[in-house]
Amino acid sequence: MKDTQKTATLTFDDKSIELPMHSPTAGPDVIDIRRLYAEGGVFTYDPGFTSTAACDSTITFIDGGKGELLHRGYPIDQLAEKSHYLEVCYLLLYGELPSAAELEEFETLVTRHTMLHEQMINFFRGFRRDAHPMAIMVGVVGAMSAFYHDSTDISDPHQREVATFRLIAKMPTIAAMAYKYTIGQPFIYPRNDLDYASNFLRMCFAVPAEDYEVDPILARAMDRIFTLHADHEQNASTSTVRLASSSGANPFACIAAGIACLWGPAHGGANQACLEMLGEIGSVDRIPEFIARAKDKDDPFRLMGFGHRVYKNFDPRAKVMKQSADEVLDLLGVENNPRLQVAKELEKQALADPYFADKKLFPNVDFYSGIILDAMGFPTSMFTPIFALARTVGWISQWKEQISDPALKIGRPRQLYMGETMRDYVNIENR
């Protein structure tokens, strides 16, 4: 980080503390408070980290005001249009776009690691058939540390690299197996002659009795959805992965923690919740009723797929997703999909409403993704597993960046304690 020579002076009680400031290459300056407790005897307080930078990073930058998302400096709309997921994986992991030879080597390595250790199939059999696929993914990814011992030592750069390829390569296989298990169909093995997105679609929709011909337009849409979900700065699940990895936990355990966090409806679970909400609204004439509920302070209902901690403008991923939704649904002949009609009208009415405009609430990445996935034939329970599959490279890139930092310290936040002060035990007969 660039030292600005600027300082911030904090004055309280009889103290005045001068703190250094750092300037980023993009975004706001930061006040470095690492010395604050030692010199001032106070903590800062920021429960949702709304004003707190927990790390420095060179991977992804979001300009929430402009609605811009950059991966290693490249805008997401250009990557979504001109690149493809595995090339974006390379960019996130290594910082530069690959040459043709580098990309071929990278894609070959991923392709050759897509199979899962055969004995891991037993883990799936331990779940009930009606288990949520996210529960299965948390369990199976965490269990990878019990099968791939030769890539759990994070102090060994080679083992870190092997774990990286195993996770990126095997997540589609695990997600597809979780889906097949919950619908009672046999697992379909990956094939090395298919690209990453086509392989995933085939593992989900082929059956032993009849193969599945992957439509290249659907494969392109699937790949684009992966790209749009690849990384997103220090969101809740990425922060979870960073905190887990700060203790030295192995990569599989850290990614399993990220999957668990992503599952929440306020985060990656919003795509499932959004499609369910669009189904509950049902028709455009019921939209005003739901907008009123979303604005009602006494009603916990929120418009799923709307709002964002960082974006106070359109989520650029939502824009690309909206275009993709039109293309895919036209291709599938479901352009008059009722939920797409409701989504478009809901967006229009919400954005025209002062409540949403004043609070700068816009559609986010989860608002349209579910409509595409639903049209492609996925059940809502598979929406967040697909998000987790795609975000694995972001979690790993951030994990690698953090553990290769020699100044890494274990993450250990403090608190504002509001509980009882010291008091003596009272025997039960005296209570």
Nearer to ligand SDX, 347 or 366 (CB): 366
CB closer to ligand SDX out of 134 and 177? 134
Query: How far apart (Å, rounded) are the C-alpha atoms in residues 101 and 430?
Result: 78
Strand-by-strand arrangement of the 30-31 sheet: 2-12, 15-23, 30-31
Nearer Cβ to ligand SDX (116/325): 325
**Alpha carbon of residue 22 to chain centroid:** 28
Q: How far is the CB of 113 from ligand SDX (least distance, A)?
A: 25
Q: DSSP string spanning 98-142?
A: PPHHHHHHHHHHHHTT-SPPGGGHHHHHTS-TTS-HHHHHHHHHH
Q: Would you state the structure tokens that stand for residue 175, as one six-digit string?
A: 């997600």
Question: Between residues 152 and 324, which has the closer beta carbon with respect to ligand SDX?
Answer: 324
Token pair of 78 as six digits: 């250009």
CB of 268 to ligand SDX, least distance (A): 6
Q: How many CB atoms lie within 10 A of CB 218?
A: 20
Which candidate, 231, 245, 268, places its Cα nearest to that of 92? Answer: 231
List residues binding ligand SDX (CB under 6 A): 48, 232, 235, 266-268, 270, 294, 302-310, 359, 361, 364-366
Q: Which two tokens stand for residue 97?
A: 């776009």
Cβ proximity to ligand SDX: between 45 and 425 the closer is: 45
Residue nearest ligand SDX, Cβ-based: 307
Nearest to 253 by CA among 148, 176, 382, 408: 148
CB 273 to ligand SDX: min, Å: 7
Distances (CA, A) of 429 to 4, 423, 425, 426: 64, 17, 12, 8
> What single-letter amino acid sits at 15?
K
3-state secondary structure of 242: helix
How far is 113 from 127, CA to CA, in rounded Å? 25
Minimum CB separation of residue 337 from ligand SDX in Å reads: 20
Query: Which residues are the active-site residues?
Result: 308, 366
Strand order in the sheet with 68-71: 60-63, 68-71, 74-75
257 burial via Cβ count (<10 Å: 0-12, 13-18, 19+): buried
Shortest gap between Cβ of 295 and ligand SDX (angstroms)?
A: 7
Residue (137 or 303) nearer to ligand SDX, CB: 303
Shortest CB 134 distance to ligand SDX, Å: 14
Nearer to ligand SDX (CB atom), residue 117 or residue 267: 267
Q: Least distance to ligand SDX from the beta carbon of 411, Å? A: 18
SS3 197: helix
